[in-house]
Amino acid sequence: MQSRTPASRTGRPRSAAADTAILAATRAALVELGWSKLTLGDVATRAGVAKTTLYRRWAGKNELVVDAVAELFDELELPDRGTLAADIEGVVLQFAAILARPEAKSGLMAVVAESVRDDALRERIRASIVERQKRLVLEGRSRAQARGELPPEASPEEAARTVDLIFDIVAGAVVHRTLVSSEPADEEWVRGFTRVLLLGLAGAA
């Protein structure tokens, strides 16, 4: 996760339980306090761990929260519902459900905001959250192509570009709906969104 188990062979090994406890405590603190009032000292106390232990493993609040939040998204999956529209609706609803949880809401936008001025942090977010979930788009497209709902892509470059675009549209829309508009991304909204995504503004009307 954060340590690459570098070289040390000797000495007391790091407690694996501490990592788990710290990440859980971080999520609990996000729920109770939100990002800006979350303090590492408090997280350490909640986890039953000394501050030093925490700092030995994470560089700071940002890195810790990225790891704590990233775990939330690993439960996403793409169940086969038979049509592209249904597949999209299903995964978007799952994504919306995760984003509706206060620990995700509180933490995610905050670390994205911090990442504006911190390249390493941005890369960490990208690697542990964004790229990790693009698998869903790839799989959905494969299925749709197998069903004949989407044509095969012209070239690998074009394919990659389209995956990125779709991810930006889907993730962006759900995040904006949830956090900025502050309205629930419920079934009705997801249906409307999916119609526009598949058919376009004109076709959806």
Partner DNA sequence: GTCTAATCGAGACGGTACGTCTCGTCTTCAC
Partner DNA sequence: GTGAAGACGAGACGTACCGTCTCGATTAGAC
Q: What is the largest CA-CA distance in the chain?
A: 67
Q: Which does 73 bind (CB under 5 to 8 A by kind): its own copies, DNA, none?
A: none
Sole binder of DNA in the list 1, 20, 41, 172 (CB under 7 A): 41
Q: Does 18 bind DNA (CB under 7 A)?
A: yes
Select from 28, 31, 40, 93 the one that contacts DNA (CB under 7 A). 40
Judged by CB under 8 A, does residue 181 bind its own copies?
yes
Stretch that binds DNA, among 49-57, 86-94, 101-109, 178-186 (CB under 7 A): 49-57
Element containing residue 197 per DSSP (H, E): helix 187-204
Gap between the Cα atoms of 177 and 46, Å rounded: 32
Q: Which residues of 111-149 are buried (b: 16+ CB within 10 A; e: fewer)?
A: beebbeeeeebbebbeebbbeebeebbeebbebbeeeee
CA dihedral for 141, 147, 151, 154, sign (positive or negative): positive
Chain residues in the site for its own copies (CB under 8 A): 34-36, 84, 102, 105-106, 108-110, 112-117, 122, 125-126, 130, 149-151, 153, 161-162, 164-169, 171-177, 179-183, 189, 192-193, 196-205
